[in-house]
Homo-oligomer: A and B are copies of this chain.
């Protein structure tokens, strides 16, 4: 039995609705009992940056790896929402004029355009902070050992050795073209680290065996590489109307990518190899891993 792409996109959108509802509840604008105050303007900016109809791919990976590992679904949903807060904070900050200076994201004005730069900086800051609150809050039904492990893994994935460090390398890469090894490091940090964390989170939540834990991490690394290759292909082959954001920027800015170095055919062969590697890793789980295998194919096929 395999999950075909129609079944997969159906499941992805069902999961996105669950995640959206969890995020909506977490960012509920009605005042909460135990708070001093949440400034309405800042909360509106956080909501603008998060409740934007994204595909919720990273949360999807948390939910599906958690299900595979037998974790509590409610705990998985909370961690999925936390991870999406980190992803959305990074988009808000990356879009700032001082960084990538993007006005458009999923067809909508970016947070600093809809609000202002100061509010966008603070909305990113508070979303990052909120992620750690969500994981450790009493509403997240997993034990303290798992909470501490999740915080540590997420902080490492998002920090200077992960996503934010990757963004710093990306800004440098516009000035000093990195070589192939440099591009791979940059992408493993900027994009790969959070996708890897998504798959590790399921293993942590499900108290997976050491071997299953390792395999889910390696699966996350393989699809993280595939995600970035597919993204670079999309930047070359797609147009801005279809993407809902600026495209063709890599070539325009002289930014080095593996697609730019080796060409589209090479990239498509690499993608196929990564999908084989990722799905092969999950053989041991049999049919229960079919949705994750379909996710690997979906990630690689986004440019079709």
Cα–Cα, bound, A39→B169 (Å) = 7
Least CB distance, A30 to chain B, in whole angstroms: 14
B38 and A161 contact, CB distance less than 8 A: yes
B168 and A42 contact, CB distance less than 8 A: yes
Closest to A130 in B: B159
A121 and B133 contact, CB distance less than 8 A: no
Least CB distance, A90 to chain B, in whole angstroms: 8
Contact A128 to B130, CB < 8 A, known contacts A119-B168, A165-B37: no
With a cutoff of 8 Å between Cβ atoms, the chain B residues found around residue A126 in the complex are: 159-160, 164-165
B39 and A168 contact, CB distance less than 8 A: yes
Cα–Cα, bound, A161→B34 (Å) = 10
Grouping DSSP codes into helix (H, G, I), strand (E, B) and loop, the A interface class, with mixed when no group exceeds half, is helix
A5 at the B interface (CB under 8 A) = no
A134-157 vs B, CB cutoff 8 Å, 1 = contact: the mask equals 011100000111011101101110
B121 and A121 contact, CB distance less than 8 A: yes
A114 at the B interface (CB under 8 A) = no
Residues of A30-70 at the interface with B, using a CB-CB cut-off of 8 Å, are 32, 35-39, 41-43, 46
Least CB distance, A56 to chain B, in whole angstroms: 22
Least CB distance, A127 to chain B, in whole angstroms: 9
With a cutoff of 8 Å between Cβ atoms, the chain B residues found around residue A129 in the complex are: 128, 155, 158-160, 164
Cα–Cα, bound, A117→B36 (Å) = 31
A15 at the B interface (CB under 8 A) = no
A99 at the B interface (CB under 8 A) = yes
B37 and A161 contact, CB distance less than 8 A: yes
B171 and A155 contact, CB distance less than 8 A: no
With a cutoff of 8 Å between Cβ atoms, the chain B residues found around residue A152 in the complex are: 132-133, 136-137
Least CB distance, A142 to chain B, in whole angstroms: 10
Contact A185 to B121, CB < 8 A, known contacts A147-B144, A148-B136: no
A79 at the B interface (CB under 8 A) = no
A202 at the B interface (CB under 8 A) = no
Least CB distance, A40 to chain B, in whole angstroms: 10
With a cutoff of 8 Å between Cβ atoms, the chain B residues found around residue A147 in the complex are: 144, 147-148, 151
Q: Which 3 residue pairs spanning A and B have beta carbons closest together?
A: A98-B117, A133-B155, A129-B159
Besides A132-B132, A136-B149, A144-B148, 13 other CB < 8 A contacts?
A: A32-B161, A36-B161, A38-B160, A42-B165, A42-B168, A93-B125, A122-B168, A128-B128, A128-B129, A133-B159, A136-B155, A137-B152, A144-B144
